[in-house]
Structure 1
Amino acid sequence: MFSITVRDHMMIAHSFRGDVFGPAQRLHGATFVVDATFRRRELDSDGIVVDIGAATQELNGILSALNYRNLDDEPDFTGMNTSTEVLAKVVADRLAEKVHGGALGENARGLDSIVVTLHESHVAWASYERSL
Protein backbone atom coordinates (compact mmCIF):
# COMPACT_ATOMS: atom_id res chain seq x y z
CA MET A 1 0.00 0.00 0.00
CA PHE A 2 1.33 3.44 -0.96
CA SER A 3 0.52 6.54 1.05
CA ILE A 4 1.15 10.26 1.30
CA THR A 5 0.38 12.44 4.28
CA VAL A 6 -0.31 16.16 4.41
CA ARG A 7 -0.47 18.20 7.59
CA ASP A 8 -2.23 21.33 8.82
CA HIS A 9 -3.71 22.54 12.11
CA MET A 10 -6.84 24.07 13.61
CA MET A 11 -7.79 25.85 16.81
CA ILE A 12 -11.28 25.34 18.19
CA ALA A 13 -13.32 25.88 21.33
CA HIS A 14 -15.85 23.38 22.67
CA SER A 15 -17.23 21.73 25.77
CA PHE A 16 -18.34 18.20 26.56
CA ARG A 17 -21.32 16.61 28.25
CA GLY A 18 -20.72 13.70 30.62
CA ASP A 19 -18.91 13.11 33.87
CA VAL A 20 -16.16 11.17 32.08
CA PHE A 21 -14.88 14.50 30.74
CA GLY A 22 -14.32 16.09 34.15
CA PRO A 23 -13.24 19.74 33.84
CA ALA A 24 -13.47 19.55 30.02
CA GLN A 25 -17.23 19.83 30.48
CA ARG A 26 -16.57 23.57 30.70
CA LEU A 27 -15.79 25.58 27.59
CA HIS A 28 -12.13 25.20 26.65
CA GLY A 29 -9.87 25.56 23.65
CA ALA A 30 -7.92 22.95 21.74
CA THR A 31 -5.26 23.16 19.07
CA PHE A 32 -4.96 20.12 16.82
CA VAL A 33 -2.22 19.19 14.41
CA VAL A 34 -4.09 17.31 11.68
CA ASP A 35 -2.56 14.66 9.43
CA ALA A 36 -4.48 13.35 6.43
CA THR A 37 -3.05 10.17 4.91
CA PHE A 38 -4.23 9.03 1.51
CA ARG A 39 -3.67 5.35 0.61
CA ARG A 40 -3.83 3.27 -2.54
CA ARG A 41 -2.63 -0.16 -3.61
CA GLU A 42 -1.16 0.97 -6.94
CA LEU A 43 0.17 4.35 -8.00
CA ASP A 44 -1.87 6.26 -10.55
CA SER A 45 -0.81 6.78 -14.18
CA ASP A 46 1.37 9.73 -13.07
CA GLY A 47 3.21 7.54 -10.55
CA ILE A 48 1.70 9.23 -7.47
CA VAL A 49 -0.81 8.47 -4.74
CA VAL A 50 -2.57 11.82 -5.09
CA ASP A 51 -1.54 15.37 -5.93
CA ILE A 52 0.04 16.63 -2.69
CA GLY A 53 -0.82 20.25 -3.52
CA ALA A 54 -4.48 19.44 -4.07
CA ALA A 55 -4.62 17.31 -0.91
CA THR A 56 -3.02 20.12 1.10
CA GLN A 57 -5.44 22.70 -0.31
CA GLU A 58 -8.54 20.61 0.37
CA LEU A 59 -7.45 19.75 3.93
CA ASN A 60 -6.80 23.43 4.58
CA GLY A 61 -10.25 24.36 3.27
CA ILE A 62 -11.97 21.83 5.51
CA LEU A 63 -10.03 22.94 8.58
CA SER A 64 -10.57 26.62 7.78
CA ALA A 65 -14.31 26.06 8.13
CA LEU A 66 -13.71 24.84 11.72
CA ASN A 67 -10.78 27.04 12.73
CA TYR A 68 -11.40 29.65 15.46
CA ARG A 69 -14.95 28.39 15.96
CA ASN A 70 -16.80 27.42 19.09
CA LEU A 71 -18.05 24.05 17.92
CA ASP A 72 -20.83 24.19 20.54
CA ASP A 73 -22.40 26.91 18.35
CA GLU A 74 -22.04 25.07 15.02
CA PRO A 75 -25.27 23.49 13.69
CA ASP A 76 -23.36 20.48 12.27
CA PHE A 77 -22.39 19.49 15.82
CA THR A 78 -25.67 20.02 17.65
CA GLY A 79 -26.09 17.40 20.35
CA MET A 80 -22.64 15.90 19.78
CA ASN A 81 -19.55 15.68 21.94
CA THR A 82 -16.90 16.93 19.54
CA SER A 83 -14.22 14.59 20.86
CA THR A 84 -10.94 14.17 19.03
CA GLU A 85 -12.27 10.91 17.61
CA VAL A 86 -15.46 12.53 16.33
CA LEU A 87 -13.54 15.40 14.73
CA ALA A 88 -11.16 12.96 13.01
CA LYS A 89 -14.19 11.26 11.43
CA VAL A 90 -15.73 14.58 10.39
CA VAL A 91 -12.53 15.65 8.64
CA ALA A 92 -12.11 12.24 6.97
CA ASP A 93 -15.71 12.23 5.75
CA ARG A 94 -15.39 15.75 4.36
CA LEU A 95 -12.16 14.79 2.58
CA ALA A 96 -13.91 11.74 1.13
CA GLU A 97 -16.63 14.03 -0.25
CA LYS A 98 -13.90 16.08 -1.93
CA VAL A 99 -12.35 12.95 -3.45
CA HIS A 100 -15.72 11.70 -4.74
CA GLY A 101 -16.54 15.18 -6.08
CA GLY A 102 -13.31 15.31 -8.11
CA ALA A 103 -11.63 18.12 -6.14
CA LEU A 104 -8.39 16.11 -5.86
CA GLY A 105 -8.41 15.17 -9.56
CA GLU A 106 -9.86 12.27 -11.48
CA ASN A 107 -7.01 9.93 -10.57
CA ALA A 108 -7.81 10.40 -6.88
CA ARG A 109 -10.93 8.32 -7.46
CA GLY A 110 -8.56 5.32 -7.35
CA LEU A 111 -7.69 5.92 -3.69
CA ASP A 112 -8.48 3.05 -1.33
CA SER A 113 -8.71 4.88 1.98
CA ILE A 114 -8.09 8.02 4.01
CA VAL A 115 -6.77 8.13 7.56
CA VAL A 116 -7.15 11.35 9.52
CA THR A 117 -5.19 11.80 12.74
CA LEU A 118 -5.77 14.68 15.15
CA HIS A 119 -2.86 15.25 17.52
CA GLU A 120 -4.07 16.81 20.78
CA SER A 121 -0.51 17.05 22.05
CA HIS A 122 2.88 15.44 21.58
CA VAL A 123 1.71 12.45 23.65
CA ALA A 124 -1.96 11.94 22.65
CA TRP A 125 -3.83 11.63 19.35
CA ALA A 126 -6.78 9.87 17.74
CA SER A 127 -7.34 8.61 14.20
CA TYR A 128 -10.20 7.59 11.97
CA GLU A 129 -9.76 5.49 8.84
CA ARG A 130 -12.39 5.16 6.15
CA SER A 131 -12.53 3.29 2.90
CA LEU A 132 -13.25 5.08 -0.32
Structure 2
Amino acid sequence: MFEITVERDFSSGHYLRNYRGKCEYPHGHNYKVHVTLRGKELDPSGLLMDFKDLKVVMHPIIEYLDHRMINDLEPFTEINPSAENLAKYFFDETSKQVAELTKGRVHVKDCTIFETDTTYATYYE
Protein backbone atom coordinates (compact mmCIF):
# COMPACT_ATOMS: atom_id res chain seq x y z
CA MET A 1 0.00 0.00 0.00
CA PHE A 2 1.26 3.49 -0.85
CA GLU A 3 0.40 6.76 0.89
CA ILE A 4 1.03 10.42 0.17
CA THR A 5 0.15 13.47 2.29
CA VAL A 6 -0.19 17.14 1.45
CA GLU A 7 -0.29 19.86 4.08
CA ARG A 8 -2.01 23.20 3.43
CA ASP A 9 -3.00 26.04 5.73
CA PHE A 10 -5.69 28.67 6.06
CA SER A 11 -6.89 31.21 8.61
CA SER A 12 -10.52 31.42 9.68
CA GLY A 13 -12.78 32.38 12.52
CA HIS A 14 -15.42 30.28 14.22
CA TYR A 15 -17.28 29.74 17.46
CA LEU A 16 -18.86 26.64 18.96
CA ARG A 17 -22.58 26.40 19.58
CA ASN A 18 -23.88 24.49 22.63
CA TYR A 19 -20.53 24.93 24.33
CA ARG A 20 -19.63 26.71 27.57
CA GLY A 21 -16.19 28.23 27.71
CA LYS A 22 -13.90 30.47 25.71
CA CYS A 23 -14.69 28.74 22.42
CA GLU A 24 -18.35 29.79 22.54
CA TYR A 25 -17.16 33.27 21.52
CA PRO A 26 -15.90 34.17 18.04
CA HIS A 27 -12.17 33.56 17.72
CA GLY A 28 -9.71 32.55 15.02
CA HIS A 29 -7.18 29.90 14.18
CA ASN A 30 -4.32 29.47 11.77
CA TYR A 31 -5.40 26.00 10.67
CA LYS A 32 -3.27 23.34 9.03
CA VAL A 33 -4.89 20.50 7.13
CA HIS A 34 -3.24 17.20 6.16
CA VAL A 35 -4.93 15.07 3.52
CA THR A 36 -3.49 11.56 3.16
CA LEU A 37 -4.24 9.38 0.14
CA ARG A 38 -3.70 5.64 -0.17
CA GLY A 39 -3.71 3.09 -2.93
CA LYS A 40 -2.17 -0.20 -4.02
CA GLU A 41 -1.19 0.80 -7.54
CA LEU A 42 0.98 3.59 -8.87
CA ASP A 43 0.31 5.34 -12.15
CA PRO A 44 2.60 4.83 -15.19
CA SER A 45 4.87 7.62 -13.86
CA GLY A 46 5.38 5.75 -10.58
CA LEU A 47 3.15 8.12 -8.59
CA LEU A 48 0.16 7.40 -6.42
CA MET A 49 -1.04 10.90 -7.35
CA ASP A 50 0.99 13.95 -8.19
CA PHE A 51 1.32 16.20 -5.11
CA LYS A 52 0.38 19.20 -7.25
CA ASP A 53 -2.86 17.50 -8.32
CA LEU A 54 -3.82 16.92 -4.69
CA LYS A 55 -3.05 20.58 -3.99
CA VAL A 56 -5.39 21.51 -6.87
CA VAL A 57 -8.13 19.32 -5.34
CA MET A 58 -7.67 20.98 -1.94
CA HIS A 59 -7.44 24.55 -3.29
CA PRO A 60 -11.17 25.39 -3.68
CA ILE A 61 -11.93 24.00 -0.22
CA ILE A 62 -9.18 26.12 1.31
CA GLU A 63 -10.34 29.18 -0.62
CA TYR A 64 -13.92 28.65 0.56
CA LEU A 65 -12.85 28.67 4.22
CA ASP A 66 -9.87 31.05 4.21
CA HIS A 67 -10.34 34.38 6.02
CA ARG A 68 -14.03 33.69 6.60
CA MET A 69 -16.26 33.10 9.59
CA ILE A 70 -16.83 29.38 9.16
CA ASN A 71 -20.16 29.48 11.02
CA ASP A 72 -21.56 31.57 8.12
CA LEU A 73 -20.69 28.92 5.50
CA GLU A 74 -22.58 25.77 4.54
CA PRO A 75 -22.68 23.16 6.01
CA PHE A 76 -21.46 24.91 9.18
CA THR A 77 -24.58 27.03 9.50
CA GLU A 78 -26.17 23.80 10.75
CA ILE A 79 -23.28 21.80 12.21
CA ASN A 80 -20.66 23.06 14.61
CA PRO A 81 -17.37 24.05 12.94
CA SER A 82 -15.34 21.92 15.34
CA ALA A 83 -12.01 20.49 14.25
CA GLU A 84 -13.72 17.09 14.07
CA ASN A 85 -16.43 18.35 11.69
CA LEU A 86 -13.89 20.26 9.60
CA ALA A 87 -11.81 17.08 9.23
CA LYS A 88 -14.89 15.19 7.99
CA TYR A 89 -15.76 18.04 5.63
CA PHE A 90 -12.29 17.89 4.05
CA PHE A 91 -12.53 14.09 3.84
CA ASP A 92 -15.90 14.21 2.08
CA GLU A 93 -14.99 17.01 -0.31
CA THR A 94 -11.62 15.59 -1.36
CA SER A 95 -12.84 11.98 -1.60
CA LYS A 96 -15.24 12.76 -4.45
CA GLN A 97 -12.62 14.48 -6.56
CA VAL A 98 -9.75 12.06 -5.87
CA ALA A 99 -11.89 9.03 -6.79
CA GLU A 100 -12.96 10.74 -10.02
CA LEU A 101 -9.44 11.88 -11.00
CA THR A 102 -7.89 8.45 -10.37
CA LYS A 103 -10.85 6.35 -11.59
CA GLY A 104 -11.12 4.82 -8.12
CA ARG A 105 -7.46 3.72 -7.94
CA VAL A 106 -6.71 6.12 -5.05
CA HIS A 107 -8.76 6.86 -1.94
CA VAL A 108 -8.56 9.41 0.85
CA LYS A 109 -7.19 7.59 3.88
CA ASP A 110 -7.72 10.39 6.38
CA CYS A 111 -7.87 14.14 6.92
CA THR A 112 -6.39 15.90 9.93
CA ILE A 113 -7.18 19.47 10.98
CA PHE A 114 -4.78 21.27 13.31
CA GLU A 115 -6.29 24.17 15.25
CA THR A 116 -2.92 24.76 16.91
CA ASP A 117 0.48 23.09 16.69
CA THR A 118 -0.54 20.73 19.50
CA THR A 119 -4.29 20.19 19.00
CA TYR A 120 -5.83 18.38 16.07
CA ALA A 121 -8.65 16.08 14.97
CA THR A 122 -8.59 13.32 12.36
CA TYR A 123 -11.42 11.79 10.35
CA TYR A 124 -11.23 8.51 8.40
CA GLU A 125 -13.53 5.72 7.27
Provide the TM-score with structure 1 as the length reference.
0.84
Q: 1:60 to 1:112 in 2, by over 3 A?
A: closer
Shift of 1:61: 2.1
Shift of 1:13: 0.9
- Superimposed CA distance per residue, residues 64-115 of structure 1 (whole angstroms, 9 cap, x where no aligned partner): 111111112123212211100100110111101212343xxxx362014331
Contact 2:95 2:107 in 1 (8 A): no
**Aligned AA (1:124):** T
Match of 1:123 among 98, 114, 118: 118
Structure 1 regions of 5+ residues with no counterpart?
A: none
Specify the SS of the correspondent of 1:64: helix
Shift of 1:22: 1.1
Provide the TM-score with structure 2 as the length reference.
0.89
1:16 aligned residue: 16
Q: 1:124 to 1:88 in 2, by over 3 A?
A: same
Shift of 1:42: 2.7
1:52 aligned residue: 51
